[in-house]
Amino acid sequence: MSRGLGRRALLGGLAGAVAASAAGAAVLHGSAGSGERAFRVGVMSNLTHAPLLAGLGAGRIARALAPLRVETRVFRAGPRVTEALIGGAIDAGTAGPAPVVIHHARHTRHGRGGLRIVAGCCSGGASLVVGRTSGIARPSDLHGKRIAVTQIGTTQDVALRMFLRDAGLRETTSGGDVTVLAISGATILEQMKRGELHGAWLPEPWATRVVADLSAIRLVDERDLWPDKRFSTAVLVTRAEDAAAPFVLRLASALEDEVTRALADPRATLAEAHAELARHVGNPGALRIFEQAAQLIDFTSDPLQASIERFGDAAASLGLCPPRPAMGLFA
């Protein structure tokens, strides 16, 4: 696991400049006259979001944002996080880069409005896994196969479509013969076990869980498709108008601390993230799967802007968002 570019100096300077700004009030929520205000944080139920999950579960994020009350909202897919941000249901959260750039592009005008990325969280941690009896040993074998993602518009969905296009293949909705389905991780596991699915492009720990439980084959470790094996899989994002709010900046700084902690003591972060997911989703899978999957992940405070721009350009070329989708996205 490797540390990326630090952002503390930038965050500190911005915080000082806007300490009394109205932007800070924009992200505080509570009942009138109650005196209790809440900051609503969204996070996904994937290992790639482990630093934020660990900090939320251990109470360190709450202490960093005191005296605000922190409310945690757990989502199963990135588009749900970005939809919640656009709709005002949360104040900040971590999500994969593809839904961030897609929803930003759909809700910005001339670089104004939309979303802002304020910190990085993770690089890597996604793979194409295929059934051992699927007959898939190379990209060309995907002809006529059924491949799943957890939701249309996720980072793994865009990655899969990029991969198919680069291999000269197309999905059925574009006149090809590769069927791309949107199914939950648990259902993917069951359908691959029954042979109803041939494979799936999944984030961790789901990819490793499918390999471990079904003796599936990791056909593509997505790191191998990127320069230096580095590409964004989780970033901290908020609404554009709240990007300079003091409590958003404090959350970004606290997440940087969590990334530092994850790099220094990864097993502690994995255990805390696993426990936090167990509180919210019931059964996150075995901790040993988390520990195996962590070998495919690099936690980093660097948002890895170039990879996000590439995801955005790919999403635009696929018709998922307008052209030049990342304009104005970075704080």
Residues 175 and 131 reside in one and the same domain: yes
Q: What percent of the chain has pLDDT over 70?
A: 88
- What average pLDDT does the segment 17-21 reach? 33
Residues 220 and 241 reside in one and the same domain: no
Residues 17 and 114 reside in one and the same domain: yes
User: Is there a domain that residue 329 lies in?
Assistant: no
User: Is there a domain that residue 324 lies in?
Assistant: no
Q: State the pLDDT at residue 261.
A: 97
- Identify the domain boundary among 228, 244, 276: 228
Assign residue 309 the CATH number of its domain: 3.40.190.10
22 or 279, greater pLDDT: 279
Residues 214 and 240 reside in one and the same domain: no
2 or 170, greater pLDDT: 170
Q: How confident is the model at residue 19 (pLDDT cuts 50, 70, 90)?
A: very low
Residues 144 and 282 reside in one and the same domain: no
Q: How confident is the model at residue 284 (pLDDT cuts 50, 70, 90)?
A: confident
User: Is there a domain that residue 298 lies in?
Assistant: yes
User: Is there a domain that residue 327 lies in?
Assistant: no
Residues 75 and 201 reside in one and the same domain: no
The backbone torsions φ and ψ at residue 316, rounded to the nearest 5 degrees and listed phi first, read -65, -40
- What average pLDDT does the segment 241-248 reach? 94
CA dist 284 → 45, 287, 288, 321 (Å): 8, 8, 11, 32
- What average pLDDT does the segment 298-312 reach? 96
Per-residue DSSP letter, 107:
T
Residues 190 and 72 reside in one and the same domain: no
Domain containing 169 equals 126-228
Question: Is residue 22 pLDDT above 70, yes or no?
Answer: no
- Identify the domain boundary among 185, 201, 228: 228
Question: Is residue 29 pLDDT above 80, yes or no?
Answer: no
pLDDT, tens digit, 9 for 90 and up, residues 186-220: 899 999 999 999 999 999 999 999 999 999 999 99
Question: Is residue 20 pLDDT above 50, yes or no?
Answer: no
Rounded to an integer, what distance in angstroms lies between the CA atom of residue 9 and that of residue 30?
A: 31
pLDDT, tens digit, 9 for 90 and up, residues 52-64: 999 999 999 999 9
Q: State the pLDDT at residue 35.
A: 53
Question: Is residue 21 pLDDT above 50, yes or no?
Answer: no
User: Is there a domain that residue 243 lies in?
Assistant: yes
Q: State the pLDDT at residue 16.
A: 35
278 or 27, greater pLDDT: 278
Question: Is residue 24 pLDDT above 50, yes or no?
Answer: no
- What average pLDDT does the segment 92-111 reach? 90
Least reliable range by pLDDT among 81-85, 120-124, 254-258, 322-326: 322-326
Contacts of 211 (CB under 8 A, 6+ apart): 129, 217, 218
User: Is there a domain that residue 331 lies in?
Assistant: no
131 or 34, greater pLDDT: 131
Residues 93 and 170 reside in one and the same domain: no
| Tokens (6 digits) for 177 | 């013969």
Q: How confident is the model at residue 36 (pLDDT cuts 50, 70, 90)?
A: low
If one counts the domains in the chain, the total is 2
Q: How confident is the model at residue 28 (pLDDT cuts 50, 70, 90)?
A: low
Q: State the pLDDT at residue 285.
A: 83
User: Is there a domain that residue 3 lies in?
Assistant: no
Residues 286 and 310 reside in one and the same domain: yes
- What average pLDDT does the segment 155-169 reach? 95
Q: State the pLDDT at residue 32.
A: 37
Residues 196 and 118 reside in one and the same domain: no
User: Is there a domain that residue 328 lies in?
Assistant: no
Q: How confident is the model at residue 17 (pLDDT cuts 50, 70, 90)?
A: very low
- Identify the domain boundary among 194, 210, 228: 228
Residues 39 and 81 reside in one and the same domain: yes
Rounded to an integer, what distance in angstroms lies between the CA atom of residue 48 and that of residue 7?
A: 19
- What average pLDDT does the segment 311-327 reach? 91
Reported as type and span, the H/E element at residue 211 is helix 206-214
The backbone torsions φ and ψ at residue 178, rounded to the nearest 5 degrees and listed phi first, read -100, 120
Question: Is residue 4 pLDDT above 60, yes or no?
Answer: no
Residues 133 and 88 reside in one and the same domain: no
The backbone torsions φ and ψ at residue 165, rounded to the nearest 5 degrees and listed phi first, read -60, -45
Q: Tell me the pLDDT of the chain averaged across its residues.
A: 88
Rounded to an integer, what distance in angstroms lies between the CA atom of residue 160 and that of residue 166?
A: 10
